[in-house]
Structure 1
Amino acid sequence: MRGSGNFKVLVNGKPSPTLASNLAEALKSIPADQIKSVEVITTPPAKYDGEGTAGIINIIMKKGVDQGVNGRVGASSGNRNSNFNSALNFKKGKIGFTSSANAGLWYNPGQTSRDRVGNLAAGTDTLHQLGQVQNNGHWYYGTVGLDFDPAEHHSFSLASSVNGYGGNTSQDLFNRYVSPVAADNQLFTRSTTNIFSGLNVETTGTYTRTFAQARKEWSVLGQYALNNGTFGYDFDQYANSSIPLESSQATQREHSRGRTPGHEFTAQTDFTQPFGDKRTLEVGLKAIFRRTGSVATVDTLRTLYGTALAPNLSRATDFSYAQDVQAAYATYSFGVGKKLTSSLGGRVERTALSADFRASNASSFSRSYVTALPNGSARYAFSDATSLRFAYSRRITRPFIDYLNPFVDRSDPKNISYGNPALDPELTDSYELAYSTTLKTTTLNASLSARHTGNAIEQIRFITTNPLVPLPEGVLIDPSITAQTFANAATNTFYQFNVYLAAKPLPKWDLSAGPDVQYITRRSSVLGISRSGFTAGINVNTSYKFDNGLTVQGFVYANTHTPEIQGTGPANLYYQMGVKKSLLKDKADLTLNVGSPFNSYWPYRSTTTTTTFSELSEYRAYQRSFRLNFSYRFGQANGQTKQRKSINNDDTKSGASKQGG
């Protein structure tokens, strides 16, 4: 994905609101042995939603058997997480059934620190924060699917899934603020527990009609998804103390609870008409109807004035948001001679949205816009094993609830955060030139790409005494407090060179590596900032299989700091090694994995530099881990089965997981 986090994930080629609502938690709940393959599409054709400026990752799941029954059961346990997974599939005649049930826990400690220097009219102020963090949580994920082929060229499928998660993050945060005005100095400790949970349920029905003519196909799909989440925090604050005290000694308390109700309905139809062996026309229509929002309350107490928490109505949130998308697309693919194949396509999307603020004086609004998203590609085959491909696509990113939620989170007293309901979508133009060749057991892919985004949605921070965008009602204007939100604040361009190499140096040795280098430019007239710089990354996978059913494997991923609009993003290093033993005539596996054994933690360091303050923040994630896994497979081996169609609503920009799992 060229180092970008702005991509969309599909399952079996179809959108999943469960993944869109909380990608990090949903991916945790998919056992690796259920995945058949993963497709990376950096310049998607018009058939796919216009969302996801870096492209699409399509996860192809394994299906059941041709006839008969199969399944698996497995469990793993370690010092960072544990899980249980199972599946049962069968097919008899014209009916196929698939199911899975999975659950797990995570438990991760961490440490956070922040040092900030501000530039005030009266002089320089400083903020030092240090905190111990504990992340705990659970998840569960289940699926059920039914396929029915009543007659030749006709098939029906029904698939449902449920994904739930919940947990908490506990932190004791020490705060020391030193101001040039001595009366403003502060020292206190705040003990905070952030809670969260989510429930995502979705059902998809599909009818597919094929024809005697090869590649001709018509399909109709419908999907309903329920996506509900909760969030909140509780804190006790102890003035003039560097450590947490008894709860009865707290000088300030706060209790907040919120929920993000949401549901989504999608209808889609696609038709493919071939013209001979080299020409194909694909057309389709799609409609998505989304409803979401945020309802939150805050209860506060200054113990000097009483003992009971009282509602703070001025800080409550009652926000609803509707987003409807209608789309039509067409793609024409054709061959020119024996070596050149091309495709030209376009997608037109109309978006209508409305927002209603029922607990504040903010103005409700509604608007609509139409977006044209052209794309095209050309591939020249030098031989069966070597080709050169050029592709262009335009993509759109629409912000959703994680970016829009106006609730002001004050769980960190000196660093508040909130969403921006007035965000506009961002458009990205992508260009890619890719070379691919295969020689015996070695495959090489190399690509040059450029990606340009105007009106980019950026996370921005500022001192509340010098706001870069309007502040929400009730936010304290204080030089010791920074605010974090989102704004259409930049124009970004990414230039990247990427290489992927997969080889078998020996018959039983598999090796793959993927280095990449990027040059990034970011310009913001709103912030008066222009930044540029290089970043690089690499991932390496290797495994060796011995004759006795023993396999050793290893993995490493690393990347350097990334230029951001107001500073730099963190570097990363993670590596893992493991050994797997096949048992019971290859029906069972016992695997031991060890992660980052030579360093107990990795310091994720970020910097922020503005005209009013500079800051260094660090999160120490404890990475040294071990996990023992056992899996058992029964029944017939997986056979050739058709891929169940699904809907993939990949047109929204969602935030990263807030769960810290």
Structure 2
Amino acid sequence: MSHLLRTLLRISSLLLLQVLVSYAALAQQRPGTLVGVVQDSMSRRPVAYATVVLLPPSPGGSQLAGTTTDLQGSFTLTKLVPGSFRLRVSLVGYAARTQSVVVTSAATTLPPMLLAPAAQQLGEAVVVGRKPLVEVQPDRLVYNAAQDIGNAGGTAADVLRKTPLVAVDGAGTVTLRGSTNFKVLVDNHPSPTLAQNLTQALKGFSANQIQSVEIITTPSARDDGEGTAGIINIVLKKGARRQLNGHVGASGGNRATELTSALGFKRGLVSVNAAASTGTWYEPDQLTRQRLGFSALGPDTLTQRGHRINSGQWYNATLSLDYDPAEHHHLALTGTLSGYQGQGQRDLFSQVVASDKALNQLFTRATTEYVGSASHEVTGTYTRTFAQARREWSVLAQYARNAGTFGYAFDQFPTSAVALPPDRADYRERSQGRTPSQEVTAQTDFKQPVGDATTLEGGLKAIFRRTGAAATVEGLTPAQTPDFVLLAGRGTDFHYVQDVQAAYASVATALGKKLTTTLGSRVERTSFAADFRTSGTSLAPRSYVSVLPNASLHYTFRRDTTGLRLAYSRRITRPYIDYLNPFVDRSNPQNITYGNPDLRPELTDAYEVSYNTLVYAAPVLVSGTVRHTGNAIEAVRLPTTTPGVTAQTYANVAAITYYQLTLYGTAKFTKQWEASGGPTAHYVVFLSPDRELLRRGFSAGMNVDTSYHFRRKLTAQASLSGALPTPSLQGQGGASLSYSMGVKKTLLGEKADVTLNVLNPFNDSFPSRSSTTTAFIDERTEYRSYQRAFRLSLNYRFGQDAPEREHRKANNDDLKSK
């Protein structure tokens, strides 16, 4: 009996052990999940739309599962059989990466997968130590300015001149895809200085501080609704996060000089980065103008010619602190000081020949023009991540203040074709003004994954903006008064208040392994009021609500090297102080200018189709865009009662439709020789019932860059950018052309660089010819900027580099400015 009992116990134990083993084996077969994020190996920025596939552990097997990364570079693979596998990540412009992974019955979070830029050869991608000059990504073009030796010693304007889809004419006017309606951000946030005077402010940024420039043609719901042509985001270089590192540099030439420095280090849980730079510029130019006027008094002609020397100095300093008090918690504080002070000396000859000889004029004005800015801003952020991948909450607060100044002083010499000593002037005038502004921003954003293939994102934002302009004008007629007297009615004192509240939501979903969709909308409420203190009048408080939807669809084809993207977005452009300020600027006596405080915002609908692929292993992007603005803000010329004098202001006077086609690609012909570039063409239609105008026109631009890497750390590079004349509502803008050549030698164990650049060596200037044609004038203007230049730059690096954390910034990209 006891023997039987012992036997039954043994059998029961064996059965129990078998059940436990079977249960454990069954548990091992429960489906697993892989969660990860894909980042650029050099910038540590998320890589969107990368293809992620799970493969058998041995080469030669077929794909087991797959997906694409979302806008934050995140991916999730679900319902996976536990075991050992290979995970492969690929995207056009990067070298594919394959690594071993182990799938368990639980969710496995992988460390960041880093993709290195690829140097294309026939048939495969080869990892190299430097990024391509231009990265073609599905939702943007990235110009890696730090890789372009031609930028050494230059300014941000020089960098933008070589950026795809961007054109900068001789006068410094910047256009994106043929339009001035765009926003420029710095590290994903706007600068008050840039908003007030983009042309001058770009001179206050050293090209040596710029890491890259991103061209975003269809921003998401998270981005503010401003910038109808898109967003230009200037990404600045940052110091290291681990060990002490930095650089010092100096450059000099016949057009600019600069000194730059940067320092970064980490101690414990705190990282510190600092950068400072200063420089000068010197820019001579020349202007000629012929105008035929038509009035009730008969025809008249205006002839103007003059030359100017524009010079100035700038400074920029940034300090940022990062603190990680605990896992999943990050605090950041960034402060920036920047400013510039420019001065122009111009002698302008003017002659008016009218039908009535009593109205004839001939004089020369010697004018000194002033423009300046001093700004500072402080940004604080708190970011909370979670153990759950793709889940994140952030809070941001920002304060920005800018003190802009402007002014002029001229002496007018009658019946003289040249400037004379000041005591020979029959009239003198001077003006001083300021444009103070401040902004306070509060923002919060939240991302929440829903399942494995969907991410919800939403946020709130508020901007409180105060700006204005105050100016006085004084005149002196030596034969009548002994000193300057205040000219009543010529000055201004204008205060403007604008508040913006916004909310947005979007959902991104992977519909299968190849298709990703994003659908979102942004609602913005704008309230504003104005006080015209000079005249004692005011603009009563007003408000309006704008609904700004957007959607995108991205499909990756079978070979993972080709993608198709469809996108739609609605954008808004609010006029800034330069467009609203009613101050009458008479520094050019034959063309006075003033703003329009009654301007309404623009609304633009944009539709885009882009196709990116590999052609003989070279990334190529083809993009087609249609943008329609129903109430566009345009500069308009108006007649005056004085022969030979016109007025320019701004008005919502036209419906504008742009049709644009872009082709851009990069290629590596040998291990040492690479090139990038392509053309952009656009056709524009202006329709203005108020002006009874219908205008159509064609324009095109081109950017080309090539470099060759010799042995012994020597690199040569050449670039060319240009644009044909652009049509406008009442005429045609000027063409632009710029080219450069440079060589760089790396020394001292790659710690130092010596760079020599020559800009436009075969042309001392390039004529930019524009025209204006209306019922009352026919005007032709030629502007020449003397851009032949050379620069010698020295740069020394110390310490060790390490990956840099990306800071979040307030994207107050909602204003239209000059």
TM-score by length of 1: 0.95
Larger RCO (alpha carbons 8 Å, 6+ apart): 1
Measure how far apart 1:514 and its partner are. Answer: 2.3
Aligned to 2:234: 59
The answer to whether the 8 Å contact 2:204/2:339 transfers is no
Aligned to 1:145: 320
- The whole-number CA distance in structure 2 between the counterparts of 1:555 and 1:24 is 22
The answer to whether the 8 Å contact 1:430/1:449 transfers is yes
- The whole-number CA distance in structure 2 between the counterparts of 1:231 and 1:63 is 33
Deviation readout 1:74-131 (Å, 9 max, x if unpaired): 0111111111111011112211000111001001111111110011234321000111
The answer to whether the 8 Å contact 2:193/2:373 transfers is no
- The whole-number CA distance in structure 1 between the counterparts of 2:534 and 2:466 is 18
Equivalent pairs: percent with the same residue?
55
Residue 396 of structure 1 aligns with an amino acid whose one-letter code is: I
Select which of 416, 431, 437 maps to 2:613. 437
Aligned to 2:674: 510
The answer to whether the 8 Å contact 1:238/1:249 transfers is yes
Aligned to 1:471: none
Deviation readout 1:532-557 (Å, 9 max, x if unpaired): 01100001011111111110001101
Measure how far apart 1:439 and its partner are. Answer: 5.3
Aligned to 2:276: 101
Measure how far apart 1:441 and its partner are. Answer: 4.8
Residue 586 of structure 1 aligns with an amino acid whose one-letter code is: E
Aligned to 1:165: 340
For the pair 1:640 / 2:803, whether they are aligned, the reply is yes
- The whole-number CA distance in structure 2 between the counterparts of 1:623 and 1:599 is 8
Residue 752 of structure 2 aligns with an amino acid whose one-letter code is: A
Aligned to 2:772: 608
The answer to whether the 8 Å contact 1:561/1:571 transfers is yes
For the pair 1:413 / 2:589, whether they are aligned, the reply is yes
- The whole-number CA distance in structure 2 between the counterparts of 1:35 and 1:304 is 55
Aligned to 1:222: 397
Q: How many residues align?
A: 642
Deviation readout 1:255-305 (Å, 9 max, x if unpaired): 110001111100000001112332111100000000000111011122221
What are the residue-to-residue correspondences of 1:370-381 with 2, within 5 Å?
Answer: 370-381=545-556
> Counterpart of 1:514 in 2: which secondary structure?
strand
What are the residue-to-residue correspondences of 1:116-135 with 2, within 5 Å?
Answer: 116-135=291-310
> Counterpart of 1:315 in 2: which secondary structure?
coil
Aligned to 2:251: 76
The answer to whether the 8 Å contact 1:397/1:427 transfers is yes
The answer to whether the 8 Å contact 1:385/1:439 transfers is no
Aligned to 1:658: none
Aligned to 1:474: none
In the TM superposition, structure 1's runs of 4+ consecutive aligned residues that sit over 4 Å from their partners are none
> Counterpart of 1:402 in 2: which secondary structure?
helix
- The whole-number CA distance in structure 2 between the counterparts of 1:542 and 1:277 is 43
Aligned to 2:627: 451
> Counterpart of 1:507 in 2: which secondary structure?
coil
Residue 556 of structure 2 aligns with an amino acid whose one-letter code is: A
For the pair 1:426 / 2:590, whether they are aligned, the reply is no
Residue 449 of structure 1 aligns with an amino acid whose one-letter code is: T
The answer to whether the 8 Å contact 1:67/1:93 transfers is no
Residue 130 of structure 1 aligns with an amino acid whose one-letter code is: R
The verdict on how the C-alpha distance between 1:399 and 1:554 changes in structure 2, with shifts beyond 3 A counting, is same
The answer to whether the 8 Å contact 1:204/1:646 transfers is yes
The answer to whether the 8 Å contact 1:2/1:498 transfers is no
Aligned to 2:414: 239
Aligned to 1:391: 567
Aligned to 1:479: 643
The verdict on how the C-alpha distance between 1:460 and 1:594 changes in structure 2, with shifts beyond 3 A counting, is same
For the pair 1:530 / 2:702, whether they are aligned, the reply is no
Residue 803 of structure 2 aligns with an amino acid whose one-letter code is: Q
Measure how far apart 1:495 and its partner are. Answer: 0.1
Measure how far apart 1:339 and its partner are. Answer: 1.0
Measure how far apart 1:440 and its partner are. Answer: 6.8
Aligned to 1:259: 434
- The whole-number CA distance in structure 2 between the counterparts of 1:234 and 1:309 is 12
Residue 277 of structure 2 aligns with an amino acid whose one-letter code is: N
Task: In structure 1, list runs of 5 or more residues that go unmatched.
Answer: 466-477, 656-661
> Counterpart of 2:299 in 1: which secondary structure?
strand
- The whole-number CA distance in structure 1 between the counterparts of 2:616 and 2:805 is 29
Measure how far apart 1:624 and its partner are. Answer: 0.8
Residue 6 of structure 1 aligns with an amino acid whose one-letter code is: N
- The whole-number CA distance in structure 1 between the counterparts of 2:617 and 2:239 is 30
What RMSD over aligned residues (CA atoms) do the two structures have, in Å? 1.3
- The whole-number CA distance in structure 2 between the counterparts of 1:286 and 1:50 is 12
Residue 809 of structure 2 aligns with an amino acid whose one-letter code is: S
The verdict on how the C-alpha distance between 1:286 and 1:154 changes in structure 2, with shifts beyond 3 A counting, is same
For the pair 1:349 / 2:511, whether they are aligned, the reply is no
Select which of 39, 48, 53 maps to 2:214. 39
Aligned to 1:652: 815
The verdict on how the C-alpha distance between 1:621 and 1:163 changes in structure 2, with shifts beyond 3 A counting, is same
For the pair 1:2 / 2:165, whether they are aligned, the reply is no
> Counterpart of 2:423 in 1: which secondary structure?
helix
The answer to whether the 8 Å contact 1:18/1:202 transfers is no
The answer to whether the 8 Å contact 2:359/2:643 transfers is no
The answer to whether the 8 Å contact 1:64/1:96 transfers is no
Measure how far apart 1:24 and its partner are. Answer: 3.4
Residue 662 of structure 2 aligns with an amino acid whose one-letter code is: N
Select which of 704, 707, 730 maps to 1:566. 730
Residue 564 of structure 2 aligns with an amino acid whose one-letter code is: L
Question: Where is the strand percentage greater, Structure 1 or Structure 2?
Answer: 1
The higher radius of gyration belongs to 2
> Counterpart of 2:603 in 1: which secondary structure?
strand
- The whole-number CA distance in structure 2 between the counterparts of 1:22 and 1:533 is 28
> Counterpart of 1:46 in 2: which secondary structure?
coil
Task: In structure 2, list runs of 5 or more residues that go unmatched.
Answer: 1-175
The verdict on how the C-alpha distance between 1:15 and 1:215 changes in structure 2, with shifts beyond 3 A counting, is farther
- The whole-number CA distance in structure 1 between the counterparts of 2:297 and 2:328 is 78
Measure how far apart 1:21 and its partner are. Answer: 3.1
Aligned to 1:624: 788
> Counterpart of 1:307 in 2: which secondary structure?
coil
Query: Which shows bigger deviation, 296-305 or 606-615?
Result: 296-305
For the pair 1:359 / 2:534, whether they are aligned, the reply is yes
- The whole-number CA distance in structure 2 between the counterparts of 1:537 and 1:327 is 36
Select which of 148, 153, 156 maps to 2:331. 156
For the pair 1:519 / 2:695, whether they are aligned, the reply is no
- The whole-number CA distance in structure 2 between the counterparts of 1:12 and 1:184 is 54
Residue 687 of structure 2 aligns with an amino acid whose one-letter code is: R
The answer to whether the 8 Å contact 1:16/1:648 transfers is no
Measure how far apart 1:363 and its partner are. Answer: 4.2
Aligned to 1:581: 745
> Counterpart of 1:28 in 2: which secondary structure?
helix
- The whole-number CA distance in structure 2 between the counterparts of 1:247 and 1:199 is 32
Deviation readout 1:388-446 (Å, 9 max, x if unpaired): 00000000000011111111111111111111111100000000000011357511010
Residue 261 of structure 2 aligns with an amino acid whose one-letter code is: S
Residue 807 of structure 2 aligns with an amino acid whose one-letter code is: R
The answer to whether the 8 Å contact 2:214/2:234 transfers is yes
The verdict on how the C-alpha distance between 1:351 and 1:464 changes in structure 2, with shifts beyond 3 A counting, is same
- The whole-number CA distance in structure 1 between the counterparts of 2:438 and 2:555 is 44
Residue 727 of structure 2 aligns with an amino acid whose one-letter code is: P
- The whole-number CA distance in structure 2 between the counterparts of 1:440 and 1:141 is 44
The verdict on how the C-alpha distance between 1:538 and 1:607 changes in structure 2, with shifts beyond 3 A counting, is same
- The whole-number CA distance in structure 1 between the counterparts of 2:484 and 2:601 is 40
TM-score by length of 2: 0.77
Select which of 629, 638, 648 maps to 1:462. 638
Aligned to 2:11: none
The answer to whether the 8 Å contact 2:241/2:272 transfers is no
The answer to whether the 8 Å contact 1:349/1:371 transfers is yes
The verdict on how the C-alpha distance between 1:25 and 1:94 changes in structure 2, with shifts beyond 3 A counting, is farther
